[in-house]
Structure 1
Amino acid sequence: MHTMWKGSISFGLVNIPIKLHAATEDKDVKFRSLHKECHTPIKYEKICPACEKEVENQQIVKGYEVAKGKFVVVEEDELKELKEAVEERAVEIIDFIKLEEIDPIYFNRTYYMSPDGGNKAYGLLRKALSESEKVGIAKIVIRSKEQLAVIRVYQDTLVMETIHYPDEVRKAADVPNVPAADNVTKKEIDTAILLIDQLTTTFDPEKYKDEYRSKVLELIQAKQTGRDFVTVKEKEPAAQMTDLMAALQASIDRTKPKSKRPGRPKKAAAKTSGGK
């Protein structure tokens, strides 16, 4: 399992060296964008609309838009200095709480935590969290962003789940068209609760499948088996002139100025009445 961060967990004077591993993965079926005419993958280039030319990565700087069309430029060295000031490569547990106190809307991304030495201290925290039925609230810097996180036990392994800060969660009161009161009858409520009771079961994650993804993969497999696929159109190589004289003559012909069309002859001037 790929290690994406190394550091330590600290709570009180206890320090546990750990590694972070992504606990989930995106299994969406990803498609490439092809040119319909020749089925070549489309390139996405960084173009400056003002200069009308492609921009290299080293020519790009970070800017924060403070007003329409006005930016404050922040240099990479300035961001690096700020990052080093807060990044200590430690997951500092600052509080312990009950997991049910956190609404699921706050949860973001899950990581497994493996011990990087210090197995006894790892086991101590795992056991203490399990028996106290608590989770740790911690802070950690990942990819230049200070994250709030929950540390808990999952299947005998410590996991860390990053959670959103309160100002990152939009207010439910701002959701439009939510009715202010429940305009339902007692009979309707009783019937709905009866239906919920009939559908209530124990959560089994293996029961749920991504049916759309499965059907897309089946379609791709069927097309591949039937050899119903396209290939990238090869770029035709430029014709090479092996005869030096032929190449020279072709160059002359291509650069030869076009001959001017002969102009019409000028008409003779009309004789005036006084001329003889």
Structure 2
Amino acid sequence: MHTTWKGTISFGLVNIPVKMHAATENKDVRLRQLHKECQSPIKYEKVCPVCDRDIEEEEIVKAYEYAKNKFVVLDEEELKALKKEQEDKAVEIVDFVKLEEIDPIYFEKSYYLSPDESGSKAYSLLRAALEETGKIGIAKMMIRSKEQLAVIRIYSNTIVVETIHYPDEVRAVQDVPNVPEQKEVAKKELDTAKMLIDQLTTSFEPEKYTDEYRTSLLQLIEEKKNNEQTVAGKEKAKPDNVTNLMDALQASLDKAKQDKPKTKRKKTTAAQKKVAK
């Protein structure tokens, strides 16, 4: 399993060297966009609209747009220094709370933690302490240049890090339009709704839920592939060096003719004509 982060988790005087691995993966079927006429993949290139040309990676700088079309340019070294300053800090569990106190709206992404080298004993200690107390840890950590608020808990005998949103990242429910106020509902309707919920109540078995759209899409793709309903993207024609050379020579010749100063023809006098005779 690929390691996405490596560092130290600490609580009190206990330090645990750990490796972090993504606990989930995106199973979306990614579709490419082709040019309908020639079936070639569409490219998305970095172009400067003012200079009207493609931009190389080394020509690009990062900036923060603080007002419309006004930016603060941030040097790459400055960003690296800030990032390193945070990464060098051990991830410290600052609080322990109950999991049910955190609404699911705060949860973002899950990662597995595994002990690194000599960290097995301390890892086991934290796991046992979390299991015995039924608590979860709240910590801060740097992941991909962003300081994350995180929950540290147990899942199937493994310590898991759940990144969670900061409060100011969760939009206010008051801003949601057209939410009705609390209204009285008919007792008969409420009893019927509760009865329906009771009938559909069961134990959570994640294995029984599948992405039917993704399954159908993959089946359709496989059928088309088996029936040879496929296309091949055309490659951009490479320039012919011989043709290019001839074009370059012709262009040079034409330019030389244009640049060549014109010689004035001398007028022949009557006396010169007689001598010539």
Question: Shared fold by TM > 0.5?
Answer: yes
- Three-state SS of the structure 1 residue aligned to 2:94 is strand
Match status 1:52 vs 2:75: no
Structure 2 counterparts to residues 142-157 of structure 1, below 5 A: 142-157=143-158
Structure 2 counterparts to residues 114-193 of structure 1, below 5 A: 114-117=114-117, 118-193=119-194
- Compute the displacement of 1:191 (Å): 0.9
Relative distance call for 1:80 and 1:237 in structure 2 (3 A) is closer
Match status 1:218 vs 2:219: yes
- Compute the displacement of 1:236 (Å): 4.8
Match status 1:68 vs 2:59: no
Q: Going by fraction, where is helix more abundant, 1 or 2?
A: 2
- Compute the displacement of 1:251 (Å): 4.3
- Three-state SS of the structure 1 residue aligned to 2:21 is strand
Bigger mean CA offset, 99-108 vs 41-50: 41-50
1:27 corresponding residue in structure 2: 27
Match status 1:105 vs 2:126: no
- Compute the displacement of 1:89 (Å): 5.0
- Compute the displacement of 1:69 (Å): 1.4
Q: How big is the alpha-carbon RMSD for the aligned residues of Structure 1 and Structure 2?
A: 2.2
- Compute the displacement of 1:17 (Å): 0.6
Structure 2 counterparts to residues 247-262 of structure 1, below 5 A: 251=250
Residues 36-63 of structure 1, C-alpha deviation per residue, up to 9 Å, x if partnerless? 1111111111111122111111111111
- Within 2, Cα distance between the matches of 1:70 and 1:198? 58
Kept after mapping to 2: 8 A contact 1:89/1:141: no
- Within 2, Cα distance between the matches of 1:90 and 1:5? 12
Q: What is the TM-score of this pair, normalised by structure 1?
A: 0.85
- Within 1, Cα distance between the matches of 2:147 and 2:168? 14
- Within 2, Cα distance between the matches of 1:53 and 1:165? 40
Structure 1: gaps (5+ residues): 258-276
- Three-state SS of the structure 1 residue aligned to 2:43 is coil
- Within 2, Cα distance between the matches of 1:88 and 1:71? 29
Residues 205-239 of structure 1, C-alpha deviation per residue, up to 9 Å, x if partnerless? 00100000000000000001111100122445656
- Compute the displacement of 1:181 (Å): 2.0
- Compute the displacement of 1:84 (Å): 2.4
Residues 92-116 of structure 1, C-alpha deviation per residue, up to 9 Å, x if partnerless? 1000010000000000010000010
Return structure 1 stretches of 4+ with deviation > 6 angstroms: none
What amino acid maps onto 2:52 in structure 1?
A: E
- Compute the displacement of 1:80 (Å): 1.7
Structure 2: gaps (5+ residues): 258-277
Q: What is the TM-score of this pair, normalised by structure 2?
A: 0.85
- Compute the displacement of 1:183 (Å): 4.2
- Three-state SS of the structure 2 residue aligned to 1:216 is helix
- Within 1, Cα distance between the matches of 2:250 and 2:56? 34
Relative distance call for 1:179 and 1:241 in structure 2 (3 A) is closer
Tell me the number of residue pairs that the alignment of Structure 1 and Structure 2 aligns: 252
- Within 1, Cα distance between the matches of 2:173 and 2:70? 32
- Within 1, Cα distance between the matches of 2:10 and 2:182? 47
Bigger mean CA offset, 47-56 vs 213-222: 47-56
1:204 corresponding residue in structure 2: 205
- Three-state SS of the structure 1 residue aligned to 2:17 is strand
Kept after mapping to 2: 8 A contact 1:106/1:163: yes
- Within 2, Cα distance between the matches of 1:65 and 1:239? 45
- Within 2, Cα distance between the matches of 1:6 and 1:241? 55
